[in-house]
């Protein structure tokens, strides 16, 4: 029972952390696009913009884990952490 309570507490605590992470990632993506967006191919640029938009939509819908995942894909393409 103690393990279950600990796991539940950990899960509940992770939500706000993930929620705060999304806007930071979106800001990093936006800054990278302004700085080096021209270094990407048209396909890469379109994919980054689509992933960023999807990440924002997921964030607004409350699915922060999926948002972080999509934003992470965009950040990988841009070569940022």
Contact 49, 3 (CB under 8 A): no
Question: How many domains, in total, are found in the chain?
Answer: 1
pTM confidence score: 0.75
Is 40 part of any domain?
yes
Q: CB burial class (10 A; 0-12, 13-18, 19+) of residue 46? A: exposed
Q: What's the confidence (pLDDT) of residue 17?
A: 47
- How far apart CA 21 and CA 8 sit, in angstroms, is 20
Is 52 part of any domain?
yes
One digit per residue, pLDDT tens: the chain, 81 residues? 666 554 544 454 444 444 578 999 999 999 999 987 668 899 999 999 999 999 999 999 999 999 999 999 999 999 998
Q: What's the confidence (pLDDT) of residue 35?
A: 87
Is 65 part of any domain?
yes
Is 58 part of any domain?
yes
DSSP assignment letter at 40 = S
Q: How far is CA 52 from CA 4, 29, 63, 79, in A?
A: 35, 7, 14, 14
User: What is the per-residue pLDDT across 28-37, written as a single tens digit (0 to 9) for each?
Assistant: 999 999 987 6
Q: What's the confidence (pLDDT) of residue 27?
A: 96
């Amino acid at each position: 029972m103690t393990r279950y309570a600990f796991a539940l507490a950990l899960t509940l605590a992770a939500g706000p952390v993930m929620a705060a992470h999304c806007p930071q990632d979106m800001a990093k993506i936006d800054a990278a696009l302004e700085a080096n967006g021209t270094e990407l191919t048209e396909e890469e640029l379109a994919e980054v913009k689509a992933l960023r938009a999807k990440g924002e939509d997921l964030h607004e819908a409350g699915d922060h884990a999926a948002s972080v995942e999509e934003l992470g894909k965009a950040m990988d393409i841009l070569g940022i952490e």
